[in-house]
Structure 1
Amino acid sequence: MSSFRVRLTLILIGMIGLAVLAAGLFMGKTYRDNHLEALQDNMVREMKVILDGMDWKQGDPNELFGYYTEEAKHLKSITDTRVTFVRGDGVVLGDSDHDPVTMDNHSTRKEIVQAKKEGVGRTTRYSDTIKQNLLYVAMLVHPSDPNSDIIRLALSLKKADESVQRIWAALLMGLVVLFAVAALISYRVALGLTRPLEQITRVSKRIKNLDYRARVAVKSNDEIGELGLAINAMADSLQDQMARIHQNESQLASVLDNMINGVVMIDAKGTIVLLNRMAEEVLGFSARELVGHHYASAKQQYELSKIIQEAMERREHLRDEVTFYFPEERLLDLNLVPIIEDNDEFGGVLLVLQDVTAIRRLERMRSEFVANVSHELKTPITAVKGFAETLLGGAVDDPETARSFLQIIYDESDRLNRLIGDILELSKIESRRVPLQFSPIELSSFVGKTLELMSAEAVRKQIRISAKVEPGLYVEADEDRLRQIIMNLLGNGIAYTSEGGSVSIAVEPVHEPNAVLDEDGLENYEHIRIYISDTGMGIPKKDLPRIFERFYRVDKARSRSSGGTGLGLSIVKHLVELHKGTITVESKLGVGSTFMIELPVLQ
């Protein structure tokens, strides 16, 4: 039971108990007063009867003591009351319970004084004579004479008090029963009042604890029912608002987590309050490590802390590019924007981190490409121009010299033509303007035809060229582009392999774990691998990561003498990637190189 219900029950019981107790006291007093009044009236009637039948004698008190005493005792035996005869001056003439000679003058007794004034006097007091509470009623023998003798009856209140006590006992028993009934009724009333309030309190606490689905079961139309309806309406409104807030938070979190830029929010005290996923990746710290901490806690990023401090002090937009070396080397573009709140107070700094490493690398590659193209174009043009000038200067008259120079001009023009063609080809491939026509290719016959095209060059250099292809292998690819890939790699192998060496090509399926057999009992495969190996000079380990870059040459003099443009491997890599494949290389100086291409069977 709740303390409020207990207090309310006790208050109701107390109020009912006080009302019943007051009613009992009033009833008891009223009963006692009415009882005494009835006794008094009865005693008055008895005294009138006594006076009517009694001979009232006058004379010497000493002579009258015996007479009146005997009369008093006789009357007491009849009325069961104490009888006293008093002379007009207060002298006691006779008494049924005491010797009148020894009794005090009664002229000052309250009931005697009142009887002389009103004819009848009444009072209640403790009698020192008989040691009891008595009800005294006195009456004039001759009502018209104030100095008349007086007859007085006294009745013990013991019986009256016993009767009143019985009334009080009955009242107390009734009060106890009434208290019990009042307690039960009070509890039911308190329960009816407090139960809906307790339910409203529980619902309010659930709402405070963010449980906005809590509702009050309204069962009445009184004020408490209206309060429950108001709380339900409030809960509905809060639930709708919190649903919108959660939706907005979810959308904002989704936007922040999927942004390609890092976002860090720092409050006016320098505490990091928000860190998105990209910022975690760029800074090398998790949100759990930084959120709630000072920005200087990222000790590995000293330059970042320094620029944040500058933005906090200057409170204006700052932008800078900084190279981070933790967790890996990155070039970052930093934008720091001050946060100004509605009351124009400084709320902190919003930091946006953009990884421009790839952009700057592409810009550098583009710059290098332009420089390389310019250099590669300038070399044959310079040669053509130089030998043409020599011929114009008179060398044309010497047939052998002229023929030699013209051959050089022709070769350089051809090289220039191939260079421009490769540049245009690479540009189309990189811009994905080359539409691929995919079709099933039977690799055994495809490789055989490709080797026939390359055999003349291999025979010229006395290089053995061989192939190993499992029969029945198919792949879905653009046949012309796949042949361009194979021929380019075979051509490089022949070009960089000394006479008497060998170049080989091998094609095999990639068997997957737990492969399923087809209807012919053969294992299904999802990829194929093409290995192109040579016994040439090999590639230094330091050059392996860069050989697929445009115009990158391991041996520039050897490449130029072989007629290479420096774009072949870059074209090969882009074509392989257009087929959703991968290309890798393994090489050892003086032993040779092996290029491995892995392609999906189905596009």
Structure 2
Amino acid sequence: MNMFRARLTLIFMALIGASVLAVGIFMANVLRNSYMDSLKVNMERELRVIMTTVNMQQSGSDQEKTAFYTKQAELLKKSADARVTFLRADGKVLGDSDRPASELESHAGREEIVQAGREGIGYATRYSESVGRNLMYVALPVQQGGDNVGYIRLSMSLTEIENSIRNVWLVLLGGLAAVFVLAGLISYRIAFNVTRPIELITSVAQQITDMNYKYRVTVNKKDEIGQLGTAINRMADSLQLQMERILEDESRLKSVLENMISGVVMIDREGQIVLLNRSAEDILGFSSQELLGKRFDQAKQQYEFTQLIQECIESREHIRDEVVFYFPSERILEINLNPISQSGQDWSGLLIVLHDITAIRRLERMRSEFVANVSHELKTPIAAVKGFAETLLAGALNDKDTARSFLQIIFDESERLNRLIGDLLELSKIESKRIPLQFSPIHLQPFVTNCLNVLNAQATSKDIKLSMDVPSDLFIEADEDRLRQILINLLSNGISYTPEGGQVSISVRHVPSADGLAEADQVRFTISDTGIGIPKKDIPRIFERFYRVDKARSRVSGGTGLGLSIVKHLTDLHKGTIRVQSEVGVGSTFRIDMPLIH
């Protein structure tokens, strides 16, 4: 912009300087021509005066004539202050005021003589070698009887005129220099006023180009440049508003992508991976730095996944499939591949959405197993009741001992069916959180003693020793009925799966918090038995509904398969945790940690 301002200033100065120079040249020429014309008129007038006083028909020899005309020329020079020359008609010099006639050659070919002979008066301006300066020559013919008998020439130095013209040029050049300085200042000011707003507008436009949309042009004028600045400001306002909307939409889209549970992968028309959200990184087991910019078939992905992408690219149609992924962990993924088309293009890329449906498929399997287990558990006692009832109706009623035995079996199976249905209803209510817990202080020593008394008969029938270790001053805030249900279920399981002569024990301890906060203190319940134990492969699933480690043994024990599932849910409702340690043939230990105070 400074270069533009300098060029504009130079243009203004050049225009003003050229104008002043042209005017000066014109004035100098007019002045010179005016001097020359005035000099010609004066010289012509003097020549005509001289002609009236000089006789060009002087008689005598050539020497006498030369002496006479030389003397006349010298006298006339004093009065006219100019060089006077007398010439014969053939151009021979008869006398001259400045040089001897004998030294002068014939002037017949001189411009002023030729013109005078032709037009009656002659003018010429040239440099004289004899006197060494520029001279103005004016010649008049002398006529006698209609014939030219000679010429009188008057020549005057142009030094005065040249000095005057030189002075004019000096004044002109001085004035031109002053005009140039003044023109420079004025031109710079004009250029500055013109270029400064443009410079500011250019600066703002550059800032807008660099995405700095807060810059504005300060508009002080209403001319074309002011209108341009106003237009730039309006454009900046519009761009800023649009960019804010774009950035807001981009932020929302980025937030949505980053917080989506489903993985999103985008592949461009060249087959390169151009977008990958956080969930896709977790699902595929690779970071975005490892995958972005690579072709899908070079991204070290599972073969089935790569084949689905290739198939979608070739068919340009939506594809949905389920694939088992084994890296970074075994999961079932639902893969949706959608071709992307934009206006004016048939194909611009591929959008892939990955859903981890492992949990859904596991729940479906659990639901299927649950339905099968419920059906089986309900069918067994119903079949027994129906079978023995049919036997009684067929005539077994007549045998009282047989009838009593069959009725006892029907009663036992009915009880079992009643327990199963009760446990199902209880588990359903617990899972749906329709049972509000009634928290109250519980003195744990008498509470645990009461639980053992309930199970004493069951333990005595198998000669199993029950023992407890509970501090006398330990209390807990919990739902008394639900806590009793937890402990009785665990103790009952221990009795059921412990051989005769074994032992089942319960101990309760206060576990202080690590940082000394009272609300973080916990109470730990530890229920141990010397039973058959649980294989390690079954421990992760023992809290599932109807899951049985030993189905035959469980059937004999009369359990419903829902006890541990109920214990787990009730523990969670108390914001507690339950853990299991077990060894086959040695026994099992269940450890429950609950908050001391809710």
Normalised to the residue count of structure 1, the TM-score between the two structures is 0.90
For 1:507-522, list aligned pairs within 5 A: 507-513=509-515, 515-516=516-517
For 1:229-248, list aligned pairs within 5 A: 229-248=230-249
Letter in 2 for 1:306: Q
How far is the alpha carbon of 1:48 from its aligned partner? 4.7
- 2:207 maps to what in 1? 206
Greater alpha carbon shift after TM alignment, 389-398 vs 580-589: 389-398
- 1:17 maps to what in 2? 17
Does residue 313 of the first structure (1) align with residue 314 of the second (2)?
Answer: yes
Q: Distance in 2 between the 1:91 and 1:200 partners?
A: 82
Unaligned 5+ segments in structure 2 are none
Letter in 2 for 1:261: S
Instruction: Please say if residues 120 and 140 of structure 2, whose CA atoms lie closer than 8 Å, have aligned partners that are also in contact.
Output: yes
Unaligned 5+ segments in structure 1 are 517-522
Report the CA distance shift for 1:300/1:153 in structure 2 as closer, same or farther (over 3 A): same
Report the CA distance shift for 1:143/1:164 in structure 2 as closer, same or farther (over 3 A): farther
Q: What count of residue pairs does the alignment treat as equivalent?
A: 594
- 1:333 maps to what in 2? 334
How far is the alpha carbon of 1:230 from its aligned partner? 0.7
Report the CA distance shift for 1:172/1:289 in structure 2 as closer, same or farther (over 3 A): same
How far is the alpha carbon of 1:481 from its aligned partner? 2.2
Q: Distance in 1 between the 2:596 and 2:351 partners?
A: 49
Q: Secondary structure at the match of 2:533?
A: coil
- 1:409 maps to what in 2? 410
- 1:39 maps to what in 2? 39
- 2:570 maps to what in 1? 575
Greater alpha carbon shift after TM alignment, 56-65 vs 586-595: 56-65
Q: Distance in 1 between the 2:437 and 2:145 partners?
A: 153
Normalised to the residue count of structure 2, the TM-score between the two structures is 0.90
For 1:449-488, list aligned pairs within 5 A: 449-460=450-461, 461-469=463-471, 471=473, 473-475=475-477, 477-488=478-489
Instruction: Please say if residues 423 and 567 of structure 1, whose CA atoms lie closer than 8 Å, have aligned partners that are also in contact.
Output: yes
Aligned CA-pair RMSD = 2.8
Q: Distance in 1 between the 2:455 and 2:223 partners?
A: 100
- 1:216 maps to what in 2? 217
- 1:3 maps to what in 2? 3
- 1:557 maps to what in 2? 552
How far is the alpha carbon of 1:383 from its aligned partner? 2.9
- 1:58 maps to what in 2? 58
How far is the alpha carbon of 1:70 from its aligned partner? 1.3
Q: Distance in 2 between the 1:431 and 1:143 partners?
A: 155
Q: Secondary structure at the match of 1:379?
A: helix
Instruction: Write the deviation string for residues 531-589 of structure 1: whole angstroms up to 9, x where unpaired.
Output: 33333332221211111111112233332222211111111112222333332212233
Q: Distance in 1 between the 2:596 and 2:68 partners?
A: 155
How far is the alpha carbon of 1:352 from its aligned partner? 2.0
Report the CA distance shift for 1:426/1:58 in structure 2 as closer, same or farther (over 3 A): same
Q: Distance in 1 between the 2:486 and 2:144 partners?
A: 156
Instruction: Write the deviation string for residues 237-288 of structure 1: whole angstroms up to 9, x where unpaired.
Output: 1111122222222222233333332222223222223323322222222333
Q: Distance in 1 between the 2:147 and 2:390 partners?
A: 180
Q: Distance in 2 between the 1:470 and 1:59 partners?
A: 180
Report the CA distance shift for 1:46/1:156 in structure 2 as closer, same or farther (over 3 A): same
Q: Distance in 1 between the 2:194 and 2:545 partners?
A: 88
Instruction: Please say if residues 503 and 535 of structure 1, whose CA atoms lie closer than 8 Å, have aligned partners that are also in contact.
Output: no
Letter in 1 for 2:321: D
Identity percentage over the alignment? 55
Instruction: Please say if residues 463 and 501 of structure 1, whose CA atoms lie closer than 8 Å, have aligned partners that are also in contact.
Output: yes
- 2:530 maps to what in 1? 535
- 1:519 maps to what in 2? none
Instruction: Please say if residues 56 and 150 of structure 2, whose CA atoms lie closer than 8 Å, have aligned partners that are also in contact.
Output: no
Q: Distance in 2 between the 1:565 and 1:414 partners?
A: 11
Letter in 1 for 2:490: L
How far is the alpha carbon of 1:20 from its aligned partner? 2.9
- 1:81 maps to what in 2? 82
Report the CA distance shift for 1:35/1:454 in structure 2 as closer, same or farther (over 3 A): farther
How far is the alpha carbon of 1:472 from its aligned partner? 5.4
For 1:41-440, list aligned pairs within 5 A: 41-48=41-48, 50-51=50-51, 58-60=58-60, 62=62, 63-116=64-117, 119-140=120-141, 147=148, 149-343=150-344, 345-432=346-433, 434-440=434-440
- 1:520 maps to what in 2? none
Greater alpha carbon shift after TM alignment, 448-457 vs 402-411: 448-457
Instruction: Please say if residues 115 and 121 of structure 2, whose CA atoms lie closer than 8 Å, have aligned partners that are also in contact.
Output: yes
Letter in 2 for 1:224: I
How far is the alpha carbon of 1:366 from its aligned partner? 1.0
Instruction: Write the deviation string for residues 124-152 of structure 1: whole angstroms up to 9, x where unpaired.
Output: 01224334321112235679967364332
Q: Distance in 2 between the 1:449 and 1:25 partners?
A: 133
- 2:504 maps to what in 1? 502
Report the CA distance shift for 1:438/1:74 in structure 2 as closer, same or farther (over 3 A): farther
Q: Secondary structure at the match of 2:473?
A: coil
How far is the alpha carbon of 1:72 from its aligned partner? 1.4
Q: Secondary structure at the match of 1:323?
A: strand
